[in-house]
Amino acid sequence: MKRRIFLVLGCLLLICEIVQPIATAEANPDQRAYHFGFKKSKNGQLPSINEEGFKSILEKHGAIFLGDTNQKDIYLTFDNGYENGYTAKILDILKERKVPSIFFVTGHYVKDQPELVQRMVSEGHIVGNHSWSHPDVTQISNDQLKNELVKVKTAVADLTSQKEMTFLRAPRGIFNESMLASSRTEGYTNVFWSVAYKDWDPATQRGSQYAYTQVMNQLHPGAVILLHSVSKDNTEAMAQMIDDARKQGYEFKSLTQMQKKTY
């Protein structure tokens, strides 16, 4: 009998250990982490996040996924976590073709490449916030998130004429409702994307034609294009991408010119 009682008590303790995290998660749905994903544009169809389960959360907190799908506008964005020797060439191409862009930078990048950050701003581009230390922002407190954002904003303001910073891209595209709400309170619009491909690994570059095809096959009105400046392929394909997109009637615009978000 005693043995049965101990077994029952043991099972009850085990059940309590299992149920508690589930109850906590249900009580705090804003802590649920998501990794941004989307259905790619194909054969002229628009991309979609309807299947991903976080559409309503992005809408609620004013996050950007794409622009007005009735306008043939393109918004070019780069993630700059570290420098791989290609950003200067990218800036040359953008300057020559008068294309505005936004570069999301980390604290490491600002400290390591101050001249390039200065050049981004002086040539009319926006510098966005990619966090100071590139953490999983769903695993830090709101105070820690604020500190991450303030440090980047302050460093860029001390270095350039850009004194305000209003666009944020979460590291690795990982987010939850809590960080969306907290960063919005700090004045940020979270920027995701509707065109992207695996370009962030310098060890797996497949040539400029591959980069060109991956991007051009996904073009659509209101596209927010995510590229990584560490990619040799992107750099070599950049000029042709821009020229051929314009031949198709697309116009490159700054995120500050985005008037409407369509999901």
Residue at 12 is within a domain: yes
Residues 10, 128: one domain?
Answer: no
Report pLDDT for 261. Answer: 56
Amino acid at 232: K
Report pLDDT for 259. Answer: 67
Residue at 104 is within a domain: yes
Catalytic residue, candidates 73, 79, 199, 233: 79
Strand partners, 130: none
CA 111-205-128 angle, 5° bins: 35
Residue at 263 is within a domain: no
**Is 92 tagged catalytic?**
no
- What domain range is 221 assigned to? 32-257
Residues 252, 147: one domain?
Answer: yes
Residues 119, 24: one domain?
Answer: no
Residues 193, 251: one domain?
Answer: yes
Report pLDDT for 21. Answer: 33
Any idea of the CA torsion for 123, 180, 172, 35, to the nearest 10 degrees? -140
Report pLDDT for 11. Answer: 38
Between strands 174-175 and 34-35, the pairing is: antiparallel
Residues 190, 74: one domain?
Answer: yes
Residues 174, 148: one domain?
Answer: yes
Residues 92, 191: one domain?
Answer: yes
Separation between Cα atoms, residue 184 and residue 115, nearest integer Å: 29
Residues 78, 194: one domain?
Answer: yes
Residues 156, 128: one domain?
Answer: yes
Residue at 80 is within a domain: yes
Residue at 198 is within a domain: yes
| SS3 label, residue 106 | coil
**Is 61 tagged catalytic?**
no
| SS3 label, residue 78 | strand
Separation between Cα atoms, residue 254 and residue 244, nearest integer Å: 19
Catalytic residue, candidates 61, 199, 228, 233: 228
Q: Which of 3-12, 61-70, 228-237 has the lowest mean pLDDT?
A: 3-12
Residues 12, 126: one domain?
Answer: no
| Cβ atoms of residues 135 and 99 within 8 Å | no
Percent helix, strand and coil across the chain, each to the nearest 5: 50, 15, 40
Amino acid at 84: N
Report pLDDT for 105. Answer: 98
User: Per the structure, how many domains does the chain have?
Assistant: 2
Residues 107, 122: one domain?
Answer: yes
Whole-model pTM: value is 0.88
Residue at 262 is within a domain: no
Report pLDDT for 42. Answer: 87
State whether the Cα torsion 203-209-213-216 is positive or negative: positive
Residues 6, 97: one domain?
Answer: no
Tens digit of each residue's pLDDT (9 = 90 or more) over 58-112? 999 999 999 999 999 999 999 999 999 999 999 999 999 999 999 999 999 999 9
CATH of the domain at 231: 3.20.20.370
Q: Which whole number is the average pLDDT over 110-125?
A: 98
- The residue among 158 and 12 whose pLDDT is bigger is 158
